[in-house]
Chain A
């Protein structure tokens, strides 16, 4: 079994030179993530006056009795932007457990003590949280190190694999120097990412949304609480906020913008590219709790003289995802809604059939200003999966789908 050492044990450990004279005590240890994500690269030592530093390859042996150096040439400690200092930057700070989808606070760090080319190296293996590490921290310094190890044995350990964590760092330059990418977060389900984001402080949220891919950011932002949405959008630069909002559906983007102050939301909309910008602008006119505020503007729209093959071609060529859309909407040249064709009807029909002949005899519609509670009633009464929203002149404004109604019901 590999030998372990804890950060709390390392701190304060005496350092001996090659003639076994004590020359100082360990104050901190640092990783250099651009070189190695887990190996302790630098040891910081409190000497007589200033802090001094030695590298991992100067170490001969590490044990609970102390660190024994092979090469005692010490360097003065200065600039450290590229170093992740474990005591200062990690201990007692929050990090993200990307496996458990949680934000946790670091109580201790577990190292694996390895033998390599005749010297001892420390590699970070686990981040410790929970009772056992708390016990160890509280006792350390008052009780001899070996006793603490015995006493902590009955408490079950609670640790997270170092490789599955993400560090929070608000300073963007330092994020680059420390090689922090948040790639674990990008692989998470957006709803899990949203839960994590909600637990963080505003500046950490900002750090994550600045760094991760806009598409992932958009999906996560859709899932976040409206209040938090607003505070995130406010904290980001307007162009970054616009970039993320462009990736969201116009309806969700408009909802998020609706939470902001008018001036700020206008500034963000200004930065958005042309097509989503007009759609979002239109949607911003509607109140949150009306059909207009609920509806989506991404739907499959076809001329009323289209054939089934046109519909199939449109579906094939489309860049949009129609995950939530179950029907095609037929409109005349004045955009007036003429018919609704459930997509399932296309499957067993000749390609040359006119779409209008497949349309439902009668379709229920509603107006943008209808209150959301009434929309929910319509869904219930007519067993709808989706409901087209039309303006007074009969032209199609958008579509409400069943999942939009579920959020209405949950909020009431």
Chain B
């Protein structure tokens, strides 16, 4: 009986794996903040960006998973093999910096969401950090993946809280497909923010590594592509409900600026305790999930690219740099949240700058490598797809650089 249940879970995993997890984690504390900020002010208007976001995400994620399946190597491996150590080293340094700030944002999400439940951050943060650390250091790859799958399921909370808020569904659906552009710098900044943060450097590295780790080969690639596409769609469905919940609750009451994802959760209060609590649980789950995956994926990517031993199936002694880097990211990422006057909003802006500077390099290396016949054989981009891919990359690079400019401006003021 038990073994049958296991069997079903195993099949489930074979279908939803790397692409799904990567896309879902994209809705982390930072993502939720960006969405809720956009809609608290502008209501349903920015909903239409979800469609282009989904397409951009699918195009970039698809190329990564294809590279992983065909070459059996991680993205940092391929960049190293094709472009040498120095670019790889610089990218890895930027990745550590960018992800450190991502981790901070997510620990801030953990602290904030639990404070609504009355748990002091001086209790929640050390416990969460220790929990995340133990899960990875003491766990095996299979066990960790199971925990991640469970975390994916908890995202249903957002759907539930979106429904509880009883938003105007008609309006939500109309604005999902009707692009609205306002000539207002604040509006445009938020739109760029939404699209610009939807594709992050760490995702490309994580996805490709997970595809390789799962042993997906070129032969199984068709199924894997479906999984990537479904993952990206699920990600936008969740994002849709987050936006609808915030728009229905905060914007319909009184449009205003919010300063943290917890603000968004509080904004749901008038619609019943459950809507707000579910939103909080969702936020907590997303933050913990991302706080696990981002340090893990950073440690993996850096060790792979620089040729150190890595992998959760190895012992601490066998892969010291891997574990030290992972530990460093968690300890520092969680530690700064406990500092009383830590400038978190500034850190998030810095994070956007570093992510934004790194992303063009990652995307351009990706598209160059995916078009190398020697590496990808018959799996290089086909003609029309390559046009779409280049267009996506150029659009993404442009938006990201614009975002960098806004963030630098924000840092200066």
The interface residues of chain B lying within 8 Å CB-to-CB of A289 are 3
Q: Is the beta-carbon distance between A107 and B85 smaller than 8 angstroms?
A: yes
Q: Is the beta-carbon distance between A202 and B217 smaller than 8 angstroms?
A: yes
Q: Is the beta-carbon distance between A234 and B80 smaller than 8 angstroms?
A: no
Residue of A nearest to B311 (CB): A199
The interface residues of chain B lying within 8 Å CB-to-CB of A91 are 84
Q: What 0/1 readout, one digit per residue, does chain B (1-37) give for beta carbons within 8 Å of chain A?
A: 0010000000000000000000000000000000000
Q: What 0/1 readout, one digit per residue, does chain B (70-91) give for beta carbons within 8 Å of chain A?
A: 0111000100110011100100
The interface residues of chain B lying within 8 Å CB-to-CB of A93 are 81
The interface residues of chain B lying within 8 Å CB-to-CB of A134 are 85, 89, 306-307
Q: What 0/1 readout, one digit per residue, does chain A (210-246) give for beta carbons within 8 Å of chain B?
A: 0000000000000001011001001000000000000
Given A105-B307, A203-B72, are A138 and B89 neighbors across the interface (CB < 8 Å)?
A: yes
The interface residues of chain B lying within 8 Å CB-to-CB of A105 are 77, 80, 306-307
Task: State the interface size on chain B (CB cutoff 8 A).
Answer: 19
B210 to chain A, nearest CB (A): 14
Given A104-B307, A228-B215, are A200 and B72 neighbors across the interface (CB < 8 Å)?
A: yes
Q: Is A119 an interface residue (CB 8 A)?
A: no
The interface residues of chain A lying within 8 Å CB-to-CB of B306 are 105, 134
A231 CB contact (under 8 Å) in B81, B89, B215, B308: B215
Q: Is B309 an interface residue (CB 8 A)?
A: yes
Q: Is B219 an interface residue (CB 8 A)?
A: yes
A175 to chain B, nearest CB (A): 17
Q: Is A381 an interface residue (CB 8 A)?
A: no
A260 to chain B, nearest CB (A): 11
Q: How far is the CA of A93 from the CA of B309 in the complex (A)?
A: 15
B215 CB contact (under 8 Å) in A102, A129, A227: A227
Given A92-B80, A107-B85, A201-B71, are A129 and B307 neighbors across the interface (CB < 8 Å)?
A: yes
Q: Is A137 an interface residue (CB 8 A)?
A: yes
Give the secondary structure class of B's interface.
Answer: helix
Q: Is the beta-carbon distance between B85 and A373 smaller than 8 angstroms?
A: no
Q: How far is the CA of A322 from the CA of B84 in the complex (A)?
A: 51
Q: Is A412 an interface residue (CB 8 A)?
A: yes
Q: How far is the CA of A204 from the CA of B306 in the complex (A)?
A: 20
Q: How far is the CA of A92 from the CA of B217 in the complex (A)?
A: 23
Residue of A nearest to B219 (CB): A234
Residue of B nearest to A198 (CB): B215
Q: Is the beta-carbon distance between B219 and A107 smaller than 8 angstroms?
A: no
Q: Is the beta-carbon distance between A137 and B72 smaller than 8 angstroms?
A: no
A198 to chain B, nearest CB (A): 9
The interface residues of chain B lying within 8 Å CB-to-CB of A92 are 80-81, 84-85
Q: Is the beta-carbon distance between A373 and B307 smaller than 8 angstroms?
A: no
Q: Is the beta-carbon distance between B86 and A138 smaller than 8 angstroms?
A: yes
A375 to chain B, nearest CB (A): 13
Q: How far is the CA of A338 from the CA of B410 in the complex (A)?
A: 87
Q: Is the beta-carbon distance between A412 and B217 smaller than 8 angstroms?
A: no
Name, among A91, A138, A202, A373, the residue most crowded by chain B CB atoms within 10 Å (CB to CB).
A202
Q: Is the beta-carbon distance between B81 and A137 smaller than 8 angstroms?
A: no
Q: How far is the CA of A105 from the CA of B305 in the complex (A)?
A: 9
Q: How far is the CA of A107 from the CA of B86 in the complex (A)?
A: 11
B134 to chain A, nearest CB (A): 23
Q: How far is the CA of A129 from the CA of B304 in the complex (A)?
A: 12
List A residues 38-64 near B (Cβ within 8 Å): none
A142 to chain B, nearest CB (A): 9
Q: What 0/1 readout, one digit per residue, does chain A (134-177) give for beta carbons within 8 Å of chain B?
A: 10011000000000000000000000000000000000000000
B73 CB contact (under 8 Å) in A102, A104, A201, A231: A201
Q: What 0/1 readout, one digit per residue, does chain A (93-123) give for beta carbons within 8 Å of chain B?
A: 1000000001011110000000000000000
Residue of A nearest to B90 (CB): A138
The interface residues of chain A lying within 8 Å CB-to-CB of B86 are 137-138
Name, among B81, B215, B218, the residue most crowded by chain A CB atoms within 10 Å (CB to CB).
B215
List B residues 314-371 near A (Cβ within 8 Å): none
Q: How far is the CA of A106 from the CA of B84 in the complex (A)?
A: 11
Q: Is the beta-carbon distance between B81 and A102 smaller than 8 angstroms?
A: no
B83 to chain A, nearest CB (A): 9
Name, among B72, B89, B309, the residue most crowded by chain A CB atoms within 10 Å (CB to CB).
B72
A206 to chain B, nearest CB (A): 10
The interface residues of chain A lying within 8 Å CB-to-CB of B85 are 92, 107, 134, 137-138
List B residues 72-129 near A (Cβ within 8 Å): 72-73, 77, 80-81, 84-86, 89
Residue of B nearest to A106 (CB): B307
Given A107-B85, A200-B72, are A373 and B3 neighbors across the interface (CB < 8 Å)?
A: yes
The interface residues of chain A lying within 8 Å CB-to-CB of B309 are 102
List A residues 355-369 near B (Cβ within 8 Å): none
A307 to chain B, nearest CB (A): 45
Given A105-B307, A227-B215, are A202 and B72 neighbors across the interface (CB < 8 Å)?
A: yes
Given A104-B307, A134-B85, are A201 and B215 neighbors across the interface (CB < 8 Å)?
A: no
A227 to chain B, nearest CB (A): 4
B264 to chain A, nearest CB (A): 42
6 closest Cβ contacts across the A-B interface?
A: A201-B72, A105-B307, A227-B215, A137-B85, A202-B72, A231-B217
A-B contact pairs, 6 of them (CB 8 A): A92-B80, A92-B85, A105-B80, A138-B89, A201-B73, A234-B219
13 additional A-B residue pairs with CB within 8 Å, beyond A134-B306, A231-B219: A92-B85, A93-B81, A102-B309, A104-B307, A107-B85, A107-B307, A134-B89, A134-B307, A137-B86, A202-B218, A228-B215, A234-B217, A412-B3
